[in-house]
Chains A and B, each alone.
Chain A
Amino acid sequence: MPRMIVNARINGEEHELFTDPHRTLLEALRDTIGLTGTKEGCGTGDCGACTVLLDGSPVNACLVLAPEVEGKEVITIEGIATDNTLHPVQEAFVNEGGLQCGICTPGMVLSAVALLDRNPTPTETEIRYAIAGNLCRCTGYDKIVRAIEVAAEASR
């Protein structure tokens, strides 16, 4: 099948993605426009490392075909900090030890940002539920949960 061009707004900028039609949004972001902050842990929707915001909602970019984002707005980890200032969620992850190897961190941060956008005062259970699709093998989750609590507090 011939390659195609997909138009999408990515981190506030208009992009033309030149991609094979069966390749995923994850591959288009990483390999076509070099936004490697979005990670691949499984490619099958089971780990959450590839989480991005699609029109404001968290999705697994490995499960979205690149042509599906035509005309849509995509926010990746590269679009979360503004003007060199960390988002409160990012800041809390750094300060509270919410990351170790950091491979799950971009996805975790985006899931947490999406949660706090919807629900600025989440309970611990709501936080754990919101990140239940993001696997982390290093931290045991405790400090990630604390970081999101601290970020929620700070954003209030």
Chain B
Amino acid sequence: MTTTQIPTGIPTRTPEADVTVPTRTVIGQRVPKIEGTEKVTGKAQYGADTSRPNMLWARFLGSAHAHARIVSIDTAAARALPGVHAVVTGADLPGIVARISETAAAPEEFDVPSRGKRILAWRKAVFHHEPVAVAAAISPTIAEEALALITVEYEPLPVVLDPEVSMRREATPIHDGVFTETFAGKARTPSNVAKVTEMSKGDVDAALASADVRIAASFRTAMVHQGYIEPQACLAEYAPDGRFSIWTSTQGSFGVRSGLAGFLKVPPRRVRVTASEVGGGFGAKGAMTLEPICAVLAYVTGRPVKMQLSRSDVLRATRPAPDTSMHVEVGARRDGTLVAARAHFVWDVGAYPGGGSVGGINCSFGSYAIQDYHYVGYDVLTNRPSTGAYRAPNGPQGAYGVESALDMLADELGMSPVALRLKNAVAEGDRNPSDVPYPRIGLKETLNAIASHPAWTSPKSPPSREGWLRGRGVGCGLWGGGVGTSTAHININEDGSAVVVTGAVDLAGTRTTMAQIAAEELQIPYERVQVVQADTDVAPFSNPTGGSRITYSLGTAVYRAAIDARTQLRQRAATVLRCPPDDVEYRGGELWSTLAPAHRLTIGQVARGSSGSGQGPVVGTGEVTHLLRAPAFATQLVEVEVDPETGAVVVTNVVAAQDVGKAINPTAVEGQIQGGVVQGLGWALTEGFVYDNEGRLRNPGLLDYRMPTALDAPNVECLLVEVPAVDGPYGVRGVGEVPIVPTLGAVANAVYDACGARVTTLPISGEPILTALADPARGKSSVAWTPPALSLDIDVVIEEEVEEQEEVIE
């Protein structure tokens, strides 16, 4: 059981702010994106768009096997190819890093079961297409030719692809160095179960036994990819002064700086990271990928090196989202009150530890107040690519199981699925599965928004396609909210305009939101605010962008920076106006003394004067680390048509209600919701990695890895519910993660409503529907599931320090 200390909240608005801002002007407005013009004209620079003179191109060779010992790698022919400047393998890395850092080579440090450390397969490859060697050459063509000249001798090992096999006691460990981590400590024997996450309360067996109605069902989702359209790309340059400059498509420039400095064993000041525009991240670009390889190649060759993944590299060898097998049991009283829940989640985290999460369990069951429960999650290693964060990591998979089970329960009780959820929905003071109480939240409000929407209250219309069946389903979901450190500077220019400087990466429009907050608090027009996302040498520190934290946390920093700038402006105006600062009124971008209101100064005049008067420029700073998390909830209604002949599913309509706290820019918020929902529809209906028995991905292209197109996507109507968050400015909540959480379950429930098929595997479309329709016990509880015998010996070492996992950013 984890308990988290809740930090004390900060006041939401200073009293001063309320006095001087009588009405909001730009908060809540649909202003156009600040960087929109750059993006529609092709001028915005993404990861692959930066080049340097004399630049080399790098490509990597992937392992031919999903599990094999690497006997030898012969790179002589590749090195001899004219135009090739370097070929590097895992065995070369310790020596290169030792030279860079001027420390003794420590090969064993590169032979640890960590994706972040083992950037090139070392002695052993553990998933297919895992990078084994890299070549840098004067053109991409030559780099590719060089790879073709590398000979790798492999000794194939047995490939494990099924997590339920891999987690058994008798299974051969994929790594010698992975020992099961639990809240209590670490196991002593190596195992493919990298981690066990457990949460419980009360006596779940007794509570389940006493329930009037019980549902037990098993579900499985496929491994899916975040599907960002921009493949990872990076450019690195090494200067003779010992500094590395990195241009990369990342969600966190400071995260890359510390990660890379750690990898190269150099102080952070020797690394400068510039984040490019990011062509979609969704969690996947929170972890380092190409940066260490490019940095090493730049050092070895003395020339700038650019590397860009191909789409098949992206699909085969980045970090997708875990597939999840789960068994869910819920018990309720006749009136629908949930009394108990039990669940096992098996996350196939791929070939390296990481990828599972506590947040996933909190997202799955956290919507409901349940007295007695026991939840266990297992991070299980297999010979598939190691996994990572994808929008509300592991929430959508778990919520799919839980929301399906609740629908089965509603069916059993003869209750409306919305009424059942309303009856059990959490509210302020209820606790989440980690036993942390919720502050003010808006789940019930989102449920009520759906309950009263015509798409729910009106009778079902007949299907638009002949022979098809029509249905609708609902689902709920949440994201606990992201916090972390954010810093912002606001420079006031001599004309009264403002520049906000941050080191946080804008993934989809938060620069605009920050400009709105700064304009609001400085009381100047939005158009007069510029937002600069600066590199790590220039910008104030911020944690990476992820977990829906930016509007909330960086927004608080910008808000505080604006208040600070305003305070300084008042102080400076006081010297000009010869009155105490307390008597200076600041309104609408003007300052005056209450004693002589006729004499007015503009912000520009004060800013100009202050530099002449020897007081220096006005720079407001704002910093935030501790904020109370602001959980965000959503309820979605999905309408589908199903062809019972083929199992085809068409989504005809989605209504998405979400508690956004306060929509600073409703257009941007709706965009996040619509994008998340459509990703969820893809996950539910058509997306999924397919592997052959050797562990090779059979659909490594966007034709066969089928993401929704404009023809597949329905209109998504957004109902923005605004229950103000307790902390942070304006009551705002993060909005990015939660819209994908309810969608999978809502689709499954709509399909059941349409055709009576309770589909327990994703993706749903086609065969799974036909199989479910053919099952005589369809829609009823599925067979009970016993967790396989674990290789987890319970002699955990309590005292042992639990090794830090690589930081996962959502």
Contacts and interface: CB of A to CB of B under 8 A. Distances in A.
Interface of A: 20, 22-23, 27, 30-31, 34-44, 46-47, 49, 76-78, 80-81, 86, 90-91, 93-97, 99-106, 109, 127-129, 131-145
A34 B493 CA distance: 34
B310 interface: yes
Interface stretch (B34-42, B361-369, B523-531, B624-632): B34-42
Tell me whether chain B's interface is mostly helix, strand or loop, or mixed.
Answer: loop
A80 B278 CA distance: 23
B229 A135 contact: yes
A103 B279 contact: yes
A143 B231 contact: no
B280 A103 contact: yes
B32 interface: yes
B41 A78 contact: yes
Nearest to A95: B32
Nearest to A90: B40
26 contacts: A23-B141, A30-B48, A31-B51, A39-B230, A40-B308, A43-B310, A44-B703, A46-B701, A77-B42, A80-B41, A93-B36, A94-B33, A94-B40, A101-B230, A101-B279, A101-B280, A128-B710, A135-B229, A136-B229, A137-B228, A137-B679, A138-B671, A139-B678, A140-B679, A142-B715, A143-B667
A129 to B, nearest CB: 7
B716 A142 contact: yes
A105 to B, nearest CB: 5
A145 to B, nearest CB: 7
A138 B701 contact: no
Nearest to A94: B36
A150 B711 CA distance: 19
Given A40-B231, A101-B277, A135 B49 contact: no
Give the size range of B's interface with the partner. 35 or more
A102 B44 contact: yes
Nearest to B277: A102
B396 interface: no
Contacts of B707: 135, 137
A131 B45 CA distance: 23
B641 interface: no
Tell me whether chain A's interface is mostly helix, strand or loop, or mixed.
Answer: loop
B80 interface: no
A49 to B, nearest CB: 6
B765 interface: no
A143 B671 CA distance: 7
A44 B677 contact: no
Interface of B: 30, 32-33, 35-37, 39-46, 48-49, 51, 139-141, 226-231, 277-282, 308, 310-311, 507-509, 667-668, 670-672, 674-679, 701-703, 707-711, 713, 715-716
Nearest to B508: A100
Contact of A39 (B46, B310, B679): B46
A20 B145 CA distance: 14
A20 to B, nearest CB: 6
A42 B311 contact: yes
Among all A-B residue pairs, the 9 with the closest Cβ atoms:
A37-B42, A103-B279, A102-B39, A140-B674, A94-B36, A77-B42, A140-B678, A46-B702, A100-B508
A137 B710 contact: no
B304 to A, nearest CB: 14
Contacts of A94: 32-33, 36-37, 40
A140 B677 contact: yes
Contacts of B311: 41-44, 46-47
Contacts of A145: 710
A47 B230 CA distance: 10
A16 B94 CA distance: 45
Given A40-B48, A77-B42, A135-B709, A97 B33 contact: yes
B790 to A, nearest CB: 37
B712 to A, nearest CB: 9
B282 A90 contact: no
A142 B671 CA distance: 8
A148 B504 CA distance: 31
Nearest to B308: A40
Contacts of B310: 43
A143 B42 contact: no
A38 B703 CA distance: 20
Most buried by B among A27, A132, A136: A136
Nearest to B49: A36
Contacts of A86: 37, 40-41
B703 A141 contact: no
A92 to B, nearest CB: 9
Contacts of A20: 139, 141
A46 B227 CA distance: 13
Given A94-B36, A129-B710, 16 more contacts: A36-B48, A39-B48, A93-B36, A100-B507, A100-B508, A101-B228, A103-B46, A104-B229, A106-B42, A128-B710, A132-B709, A140-B674, A140-B678, A141-B713, A143-B667, A144-B710
B716 A101 contact: no
B701 A97 contact: no
Most buried by B among A27, A100, A136: A100
A24 to B, nearest CB: 11
Contacts of B45: 36
Nearest to A22: B141
A22 to B, nearest CB: 8
Contacts of A47: 229, 311, 702
Most buried by A among B278, B672, B675, B679: B675
Contacts of A134: 710
Most buried by A among B33, B36, B711, B715: B36
Contact of A78 (B42, B140, B280, B308): B42
Nearest to B506: A101
Contact of A141 (B44, B670, B678): B678
A103 B279 CA distance: 5
Given A39-B230, A86-B37, A142-B674, A76 B42 contact: yes
Contacts of A109: 40
Contacts of B231: 40-41
A127 B711 CA distance: 9
B716 A102 contact: no
Given A46-B702, A128-B710, A100 B675 contact: yes
A144 B667 CA distance: 12
B19 to A, nearest CB: 34
Contacts of A100: 507-509, 671-672, 675
Contacts of A81: 40-41
A36 B32 contact: no
Contacts of A43: 310-311
Contact of B43 (A37, A95, A141): A37
Nearest to A102: B39
A129 B41 contact: no
Contacts of A38: 42
A128 B675 contact: no
Nearest to A104: B229
Given A36-B49, A131-B710, A143 B701 contact: no
A135 B230 CA distance: 11
B230 A103 contact: yes
A47 to B, nearest CB: 5
Contacts of A135: 229, 702, 707, 709
A122 to B, nearest CB: 12
B229 A49 contact: yes
Given A42-B702, A97-B33, A102-B39, A142 B278 contact: no
A136 B30 CA distance: 22
A94 B277 CA distance: 16
B401 to A, nearest CB: 24
Nearest to A91: B40
Contacts of B229: 39, 41, 47, 49, 101, 103-104, 135-137
A60 B579 CA distance: 67
A133 B534 CA distance: 35
B42 A36 contact: yes
B42 A137 contact: no
A10 to B, nearest CB: 13
